[in-house]
Amino acid sequence: MFNRLIGISVALGLAASNWGATAGEAPMLAELVAAGSLPPLEERLPANPLVVAPLNEVGTYGGTLSRGSALLFPPVFVNMTREGLVSYAFPDPSAAPPIPNLAESLTFNDDGTILTIKLREGIRWSDGEPFTADDVAFFWQDVMEDPNTSVPIHPALFVAPGVAPEFEQVDKYTVRLTYPFAFKYAAQSLAAVEDTFAWPKHMLSKDHPRYNSDATYEDFNKWAPWWSGRNSVSVGAWRMESISNDNTLVRLERNPYYWKVDTAGNQLPYIDFVENNIVPDRQSVALGNISGEFDYDGTWVGNQHLPLFLREQEGRDFSIGWFNNTPGMSIYMNYDNANDNKRNLIRNTSFRQAMSLAIDRDSINRQFFLDLLDPTAFSFSPNSPYYDAEAGTLFAELDLERANALLDAAGYLDNNGDGIREYADGTNIELVIDVANHDLYVPITEFLVETIPAGIGIGLVMNNQQQDLIFERRQTLDWDLHVFDIYGSTAPLAKLEDWVPVSQGFPFWHQNAIVEPFSPEYKEFSDILLGARAMDYDTRVSEMKRANRLMTENAFNIYVGFYRRAFIYNSNLGNMPSEAMRDVSFGLLEGPMRPEQVYFKQ
């Protein structure tokens, strides 16, 4: 029989709380209650609030958390406000299965094809309006399923290429998902959706053409970006208060109707305001955290700033934390390159293996990672149960003799003796490697542009631009190599879109894979991943390890390795972990803190 109940309401390492007898609230809200402009706490909380066990201790109220960001970058803000139907465990999402959040329970039928989701009753939006299944249905049916909106069905929800579960609203607090097969990965799939799994229907339906004949999709789609203002009405710990005219300051304020409490019954969050300051670059973020201008960063700073942190730490009020097995720099290849010569080259397994063997990871480790890098092939993470340690090192050593032999055997020769190999038509092989402004990845790319042509005769030219321009370019087929983090390596089944063709355009490095996979090995790899979420755990692990080996043996892309990465935080912040996981497998660019339970000690 299928495991019917996959979630319970008391989770998160939580304890039951007699919150009604001891409930506390922030002084700024108590003042509003006293003035008659806000209902009392017992009317703002649901009958069964979610109880969050603070990491170390019950905190105190007040303060403004200041942050720096090198871009007006949605994930930085979403990390502070997102609330899914279910949530990953923190600070290590790989350590436990997802747990109920906005949902109170998730229950499967006997054959595992129908998932009934019961919402937590009594939650309210930050403007006081009830949160119900109407809001979940609005997000699913009127936003994601409406082809005229700019928000498609989230790739994490697909159970087969282009196939999402059927959605049904049962009643005011219940929704139902019907899957085409026993879907044993449902909770992880739901948790991987980066946005809050509901939009406020009472606020946004007036701008939707299905509800207002005078509305246009052009106007409705203006609500899609996080900073559009739709998050001024939120179920998160904070709601957006304002954004400056020049888009350099985003200010969040506490949600007076937030539906989580600590183990002493105090309404969360502890911190009153969050300010996100847009600054010129990563170095500005690092310096701001050192000086005390900012309170925390786990997105923009890294090991390239570690010498600065260690040099400046004495006498300053900041602490250094660590992300373990952090996904590092990957070189993605465009398997659907518009240029015939380049496309055929990239699809040649010997070329990809040779490129991996030509990378001096040990030198990169010493020069750029301070000996904190674990050189690895393009592979699942050591944090993943699907990692194969032996496969993870295939083609990850520097071996120029073997690399050159592979290229010679593949017919890519240097016939004119200029040091660069040629295509069959006699033109030199020269690939453009795109890299966004990044004070770690740019110098590593410069190192590769210098060493790979000299080592194996493959010409490389670096294209360095702003991140948004590089990302726009990779959506086309007119690019060769793209440098960025490895995606979804810890929980690949929660981020299938980063690996296999869940729909047209995915993964970005093989956008036509859904039509014609580039090789039988990639087709086999894709079939394993697409079918694994219906397997029992032991079978899934075995098959996914086989997929890991297929990927590394064939060097689908090139990887430098996983590493131990530093983050920084104000020493006056309580309930901040010193060790955590950072992996976009979980829809997070950071994740070392559950922000609602962080507080200022003084």
Per-residue pLDDT of 522-569, as tens digits, reads 999 999 999 998 888 899 999 999 999 999 999 999 999 999 999 999
* Predicted local confidence at residue 6, as pLDDT: 46
CATH number at residue 428: 3.10.105.10
- State which H helix or E strand residue 135 sits in: helix 133-137
d(CA 380, CA 391): 10
How crowded is residue 22: how many other Cβ atoms within 10 Å of its Cβ?
12
Same domain, 23 and 136: yes
Domain membership of residue 382 as a residue range: 329-559
Q: Could you identify the residue written with the tokens 């790899």?
A: 525
**Average pLDDT value over all residues in the chain:** 91
**Dist. CA 359–CA 400, nearest whole Å:** 9
Residue 294: inside a domain: no
pLDDT value for 76: 67
- Look at 159 and 398; give whichever has higher pLDDT: 398
Residue 441 belongs to a domain: yes
In a domain? residue 298: no
State whether 164 and 113 are in the same domain. yes
pLDDT digits (tens, 9 = 90+) for 243-286: 999 989 999 999 999 999 999 999 999 999 999 999 999 999 99
Do 398 and 456 fall into the same domain? yes
On the question of pLDDT at 588 being above 90, the answer is no
Same domain, 222 and 78: yes
Q: Is the pLDDT of residue 234 over 50?
A: yes
Q: 111 and 172 in one domain?
A: yes
Global model pTM greater than 0.75: yes
**pLDDT (0 to 100) of residue 481:** 98
State the average pLDDT over residues 47-74: 92
Mean pLDDT to the nearest integer, 55-79: 87
Band the pLDDT of 80: cuts 50, 70, 90. Answer: confident
Query: Could you give the number of structural domains in the chain?
Result: 2
- For residue 465, pLDDT beyond 50: yes
Distances (CA, A) of 449 to 133, 362, 436, 456: 53, 16, 15, 11
pLDDT reported for residue 20: 44
- 466 in any annotated domain: yes
Query: How far apart (Å, rounded) are the C-alpha atoms in residues 433 and 484?
Result: 11
Over the Cα atoms of the chain, what is R_g?
25
484, 354: one domain: yes
Distances 485 to 90, 357, 538, 581 between C-alpha atoms, Å? 21, 19, 29, 15
For residue 9, what pLDDT band results from cuts at 50, 70 and 90?
Answer: very low
Q: Which one-letter amino acid corresponds to residue 400? A: L
Question: Mean pLDDT throughout 103-112?
Answer: 94
- CB under 8 Å, gap of 24 or more: what pairs does 160-163 form? 160/530, 161/501, 161/502, 161/503, 161/514, 161/530, 162/502, 162/503, 162/504, 162/514
The per-residue pLDDT for 155 is 84
Question: How far, rounded to the nearest angstrom, does the alpha carbon of residue 41 sit from its chain's CA centroid?
Answer: 34
Residue 164 has pLDDT above 80, yes or no: yes
Residue 199 confidence (pLDDT) above 70: yes
Rounded CA separation 368/206 (Å): 52
- 564 belongs to a structural domain: no
- Inform me whether the pLDDT recorded for 11 exceeds 50: no
pLDDT band at 2 (very low <50, low <70, confident <90, very high): very low
- The reply to whether 227 and 336 lie within a common domain is no
The answer to whether residues 235 and 137 belong to one domain is yes
Is 517 among the domain residues? yes
530 and 581 share one domain: no
Higher pLDDT: 28 or 72? It is: 28
Residue 135 sits in the same domain as residue 175: yes
DSSP line for 456-475: H--EEEEEEE-HHHHHHHHT
pLDDT in tens, 336-369: 999 999 999 999 999 999 999 999 999 999 999 9
Please give the C-alpha separations between residue 141 and each of 132, 135, 144, 494, in angstroms, as whole numbers: 15, 10, 6, 22
Paired tokens of 522? 């990639």
Nearest to 288 by CA among 303, 304, 305, 271: 305
Contacts of 555 (CB under 8 A, 6+ apart): 349, 352, 353, 355, 356, 377, 378, 394, 395
* CATH number of the domain enclosing 231: 3.90.76.10
273-278 and 64-69 beta bridge pairing? parallel
Give the type of residue at 494: A
Whether residue 276 is contained in a domain is answered as no
Distance CA 245, CA 222 (A): 17
* Residue 516 token pair: 């014609």
Burial tier of 256 (Cβ tally within 10 Å: 0-12, 13-18, 19+): buried
Percent of the chain whose predicted confidence (pLDDT) is above 70? 93
Task: Report residue 411 CA to chain centroid gap.
Answer: 40
The larger pLDDT score, comparing residue 495 to residue 138, is at 138
Q: Furthest-apart CA pair in the chain: how many Å?
A: 85
Asked whether residue 52 carries a pLDDT value surpassing 50, the answer given is: yes
Per DSSP, 547 falls in state H
Least confident window among 118-127, 242-251, 360-369, 413-422: 242-251
3-12, 333-342, 435-444, 588-597 — which is least confidently predicted? 3-12
- Would you place residue 91 in the very low, low, confident or very high pLDDT band (cuts 50, 70, 90)? low
- Does residue 14 carry a pLDDT above 70? no
Residues 252 and 387 grouped into a single domain: no
pLDDT at 26 over 90: yes
pLDDT tier at 587 (50, 70, 90 boundaries)?
A: low
Compute the distance between CA of residue 315 and CA of residue 308 in angstroms, rounded to an integer. Answer: 14
